């Protein structure tokens, strides 16, 4: 059965829609990084580079009080892009057979941080603060209310694999016959908790992150949203395979041998009925932390050697945490679509030399153009929670 990704809505530091994000990918080697220096989020005068959305977002007044968060503004901005396709496909589908599954790790925590500060200064909560803003279910509930879905509605929060798992979950619901139509994806917004939390873990970069390069020193946190319309209805691009694993090696460090990552990639290939050499591009998890890149290059080399072009795009978007899986799947969707008129393959960061101690995967460090038919996207999360997705052109 073909489970198709009929449309995409995307917003991140690279741009506010499909065309802008694709343009940002194409200009990555000639334009300044879209990541910006932030002076507000960090504690103790910590200035950090982040992947912040600069585009104007739908006004909060369009949202009910319990949904008035930046996170839901980002979700709405992505939903507005897919609404025409969704309404067309939903016209003859019972609302009880429409699902909404969203990956997130921050939800409305930023609004909670602001409210907590006000309470500390005044001993009163702000009048417009609603506790439900912080619930992980908030973006899924909001989108379901917006689109009228009455089927399964839930959020997944498994750190960096959250929205990749939302796509896998949507595919499972359709294949099981429980639903006919799914809005799935992910959304996360910048907040002090994640910026300072990763700093406390000594995982943030002093500058703009450089995945798989010799001088890499950590991640940049980002924000954004990507939503897909998923169905069995005819579409140009399919979610051909998903692979999930949980190696539980450590609460935050990856298994150095990459056993869980290897298992996830092989499971995705098996479900897609593809051989490794049939992949054309891998969007790497590529956080630019020393341990992740070491593990992932080891795992990728085990599966495909150096035969498949691969890059991380986190130096362009920041690490969008719970939204990363969907945003990077969205990048793969764009590469496979008519938006990629020149058959370009995204460049890995190339500001310094690659780390020669890492396994020699097919890292893209020079401009590359070639036809793309099947793309794999990796997301590896805390606790060894792994997912690989394969998107491909329907033939």
pLDDT tens digit string along 203-213? 999 999 999 99
Q: What is the DSSP string of 322-374?
A: GGHHHHHHHHHHHHHSTT-TT-EEPPPP-SS-B-TTS---EE--S-EE----E
Least trusted range by pLDDT, from 44-53, 69-78, 99-108, 290-299: 44-53
Number of domains, the chain: 1
Q: Each residue of 186-199: pLDDT tens digit?
A: 999 999 999 999 99
Q: Each residue of 288-314: pLDDT tens digit?
A: 999 999 999 999 999 999 999 999 999
Q: What is the mean pLDDT of residues 149-169?
A: 98
> Would you state the structure tokens that stand for residue 153, as one six-digit string?
């509605």
Q: Each residue of 79-133: pLDDT tens digit?
A: 999 999 999 999 999 999 999 999 999 999 999 999 999 999 999 999 888 888 8
**CA pair distance 211, 37, nearest whole angstrom:** 19
Q: Does residue 45 surpass a pLDDT of 90?
A: no
Q: What is the DSSP string of 114-169?
A: HHHHHHHHHSS--TT--GGGGSTTHHHHHHHHHHT--S-EEEE--GGGHHHHHHHH
Catalytic residue among 160, 184, 332, 375: 160
**CA pair distance 139, 33, nearest whole angstrom:** 29
Burial class (CB in 10 A: 0-12, 13-18, 19+), 31: exposed
Q: Does residue 251 surpass a pLDDT of 90?
A: no
Q: Each residue of 325-339: pLDDT tens digit?
A: 999 999 999 999 999
Structural contact between residues 2 and 394, judged by C-beta atoms closer than 8 angstroms: yes
Catalytic residue among 85, 147, 319, 375: 319
Establish whether 319 is a catalytic residue: yes
Does pTM top 0.75 for this prediction? yes
Q: Does residue 51 surpass a pLDDT of 70?
A: yes
Residue range of the domain that includes 210: 4-393
**CA pair distance 286, 374, nearest whole angstrom:** 19
**CA pair distance 212, 289, nearest whole angstrom:** 8
SS3 readout for 235-259? CCEEEEEEEEEECCCCCCCCCCCCH
Give 1's pLDDT tier (boundaries 50, 70, 90).
low
Structural contact between residues 229 and 5, judged by C-beta atoms closer than 8 angstroms: yes
**CA pair distance 386, 125, nearest whole angstrom:** 38
Helix/strand/coil for 23: helix
**CA pair distance 94, 179, nearest whole angstrom:** 9
Least trusted range by pLDDT, from 131-140, 142-151, 340-349, 365-374: 131-140
Establish whether 285 is a catalytic residue: yes
Nearest to 72 by CA among 188, 230, 158, 166: 188
The CATH number of residue 155's host domain is: 3.40.47.10
Catalytic residue among 209, 285, 332, 375: 285
Element (H, E) at 194: helix 192-200
């Amino acid at each position: 059965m073909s489970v198709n990704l009929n449309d995409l809505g995307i917003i991140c530091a690279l741009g506010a829609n499909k065309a802008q994000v694709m343009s940002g990918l194409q200009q990555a080697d000639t334009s300044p990084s879209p990541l910006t220096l932030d002076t507000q989020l960090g504690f103790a005068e910590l200035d950090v580079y982040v992947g912040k959305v600069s585009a104007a977002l739908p006004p909060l007044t369009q949202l009910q009080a319990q949904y008035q968060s930046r996170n839901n503004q980002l979700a709405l901005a992505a939903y507005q892009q897919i609404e025409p396709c969704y309404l067309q496909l939903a016209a003859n589908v019972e609302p009880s057979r429409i699902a909404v599954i969203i990956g997130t790790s921050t939800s409305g925590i930023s609004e909670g941080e602001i409210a907590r500060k006000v309470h500390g200064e005044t001993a009163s909560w702000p009048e417009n603060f609603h506790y439900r803003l912080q619930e992980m279910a908030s973006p899924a509930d909001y989108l379901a209310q917006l689109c009228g879905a009455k089927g399964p509605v839930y959020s997944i929060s498994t750190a960096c694999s959250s929205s990749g798992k939302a796509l896998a979950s949507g595919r499972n619901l359709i294949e099981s016959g429980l639903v006919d139509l799914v809005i799935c994806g992910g959304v996360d917004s910048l907040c002090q908790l994640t910026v300072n939390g990763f700093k406390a873990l000594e995982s943030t970069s002093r500058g703009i992150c450089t995945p798989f390069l010799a001088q890499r020193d950590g991640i940049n946190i980002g924000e954004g949203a990507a939503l897909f319309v998923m169905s069995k209805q005819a579409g140009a691009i399919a979610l051909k395979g998903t692979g999930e694993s949980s190696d539980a090696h450590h609460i935050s460090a990856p298994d150095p041998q990459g056993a869980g990552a290897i298992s996830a990639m092989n499971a995705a290939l098996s479900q897609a009925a593809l051989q490794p050499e049939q992949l054309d591009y891998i969007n790497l998890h590529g956080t630019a932390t020393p341990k992740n890149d070491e593990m992932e290059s080891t795992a990728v080399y085990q599966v495909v050697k150096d035969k498949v072009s691969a890059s991380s795009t986190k130096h362009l978007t920041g690490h969008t945490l719970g939204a990363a899986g969907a945003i990077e799947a969205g990048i793969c969707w764009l590469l496979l679509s008519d938006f990629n008129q020149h058959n370009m393959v995204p460049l890995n960061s190339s500001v310094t030399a690659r780390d020669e101690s890492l396994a020699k995967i097919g890292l893209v460090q020079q401009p590359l153009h070639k036809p793309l038919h099947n793309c794999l996207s990796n997301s590896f999360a805390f606790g060894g929670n792994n997912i690989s997705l394969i998107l491909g052109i329907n033939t």
